[in-house]
Chains A and B, each alone.
Chain A
Amino acid sequence: MTWLRLVRAELRKLTTTKMPWAFLAVLVTISGVTAFAVIFGTDADGSKGFISTAADQKSLTAFAYNGLIIAALFGAIAVAREYGHDTVVPTFLIEPRRHRAVLAQFVAVMLAGGFLGFVGTALTMVAVAIALPATEYNFMMSVGDIMQLLAASSFAAATGAVIGAGIGTLVRNTGGAVAALVVVLLIAPPLAVQLVSEAISWVPGALANVVSGVADDVGMAAALTAMAAWAAVPAIIGVFVAERRDVV
């Protein structure tokens, strides 16, 4: 019961500053850019091939990787600022067994991240649906496609939020956490692929495409497990370090 109270407190922390609105504004902007691309964009040959089939439209609106990156930034900032503003101190005074407090923080960030992913996908789909009548193509995605994209994006963004939260716990400085996140999610994966070519199927972008149903490099279960592992590693290290480190 106490732990659920901590999750509720963490959710209230996330919803009582302007940060979520800033992220929602980013999602609205991305959906607007997507609509613009649908109306005015073309492939290299000048055609509108990128929206000509249901599969093309599904690829266009697959938001899982975007959701993962955006939610990871959200998680990193949300957690690192807790240390920056020392607002983690009252949290650890309420629950001095810090692993419980940190887990509550991760769960709250995960829920918020999943929500951002869901909203991001929904907005993108709506934008595409609104923009398509301006072209010669109709909205062709099935309900199954829509549900899969929403679920995939929510899942990917939730894992991304936990990745960010874990890194925010370790780095504790907002700028540093964002920089570390860029290294972990954007710089390290291509380098790893350069070193071990098989890694290309296991980097976040590839896994997000698999769970969205727009790629099949690995099986769905393997992709879901691998994404969960991406989140678990920084989260477990973060809990371990937070439990032992002096807070102030």
Chain B
Amino acid sequence: MVNDVSFTVEPGRVTGFLGPNGAGKSTTMKILLDLASADQGTATIGGMRYRELEDPARTVGVVLEPNAFHPGRSGRNHLRILADGGGFPTERVQEMLSVVGLADAADRRVGTYSMGMRQRLSLAAALLGDPPVLVLDEPGNGLDPQGIRELREVLRERAANGDTIFVSSHLLSEVEHLADEVVVLNKGRLVASGSLAELQGEETFVRTPSRGSLMEVLQSAGGTAQPLEEDALLVRGVSIDAIGNRAHRAGIELHELSPHSGSLEDLFMDWTDVTNVDVTSDTPKEDRST
């Protein structure tokens, strides 16, 4: 179930799509790709629904979970079928097999592949049409460290060339290395989106003996306050200056007010922690498009 989710994925950037299991990431991607239907709203790519794209196979490369292979078919034949359907030159098959390091195993049945090899084959399929948009659901699953590094290099290179990369992952450290932007879902709702650098730097650590009062003040200012130990709060959505000003106007004593740069893991746990005081706006933002 996904509800009131609106965001934009920009070209030339790698956008990480985060959320706990069951948050709605895969569902959102399937709606974007017209594999599942939404009760309301639209998901567009370059302003068009997926099924309206003139040549979707050359426009969007896709990796979805679970991987879609017939176990009795060879990796090479899997790609040949996609090349036939998409009208890609057959040389692209061998080229992509080499790019993902599967050239030697190309004629083996996919049923004998490890999970990492299947993931490489999925990536080869996604790149077959050299599309300017990539929609990848957990592409790092099962990859060894070298594979993850190669995946990161491929995606960074394509983003640097102006491609649009939308990639879901539960490997937060990997996203931290890879993504320029993040979109975070929790229980089917958007809980954060924007530049990863800005999101990581937008927290403020506050210590105050009047924690409850300050939380009310920050709530009215549209911020999110997470109670920490004893008299401390971690505040997001309100600038450090605004926190000081509002506390001063409300006569709230502050013992500490300092910028806090959290790791993505800290932020993620915070965004998806149900005990948080969530006071973010529910107003839909822009249409999702790339």
Contacts and interface: CB of A to CB of B under 8 A. Distances in A.
24 contacts: A5-B84, A8-B84, A12-B77, A12-B84, A13-B81, A16-B74, A16-B77, A85-B69, A87-B68, A87-B69, A90-B68, A90-B82, A91-B85, A93-B33, A93-B57, A93-B62, A94-B82, A94-B85, A95-B56, A95-B85, A246-B30, A246-B35, A246-B36, A248-B36
Nearest to B66: A86
A115 interface: no
Looking at chain A's contact residues, is the secondary structure mostly helix, strand, loop, or mixed?
A: helix
B65 to A, nearest CB: 9
B70 A17 contact: yes
Contacts of B81: 9, 12-13, 16, 90
B84 A17 contact: no
Contacts of A90: 62, 68, 81-82, 85, 125
Interface string B56-94: 110010101011111111100100111011110000000
Nearest to B57: A94
B285 interface: no
A111 to B, nearest CB: 15
Interface of A: 1-2, 5-6, 8-9, 12-13, 16-19, 81, 85-97, 246-248
The 5 tightest CB contacts between A and B, nearest first, are: A9-B85, A86-B68, A96-B51, A9-B84, A16-B77
A89 B68 contact: yes
B53 interface: yes
A30 B140 CA distance: 49
A13 B125 CA distance: 15
B35 A81 contact: no
B271 interface: no
Interface of B: 30, 33-37, 50-51, 53, 56-57, 60, 62, 64, 66-74, 77, 80-82, 84-87, 125
A96 B67 CA distance: 18
Contacts of B69: 85, 87
B36 A247 contact: yes
A81 B125 CA distance: 20
Contacts of A248: 30, 35-36, 64
A17 B53 contact: no
A246 B56 CA distance: 18
A6 B57 CA distance: 12
B64 A89 contact: yes
A96 B68 contact: no
A89 B35 contact: yes
A5 B53 contact: no
A90 B263 CA distance: 36
Chain A CB within 10 A, most for which of B30, B72, B81, B85: B85
Contacts of B74: 16
Contact of B73 (A5, A16, A88): A16
Contact of A247 (B35, B50, B62): B35
Contact of B70 (A9, A85, A247): A85
Chain B CB within 10 A, most for which of A9, A16, A94: A94
Contacts of A95: 56, 85
Contacts of B66: 86
B72 A17 contact: yes
A8 B80 CA distance: 10
A74 to B, nearest CB: 15
A201 B197 CA distance: 75
Given A17-B73, A246-B36, 8 more contacts: A16-B77, A87-B68, A90-B81, A93-B62, A94-B56, A96-B51, A247-B35, A248-B64
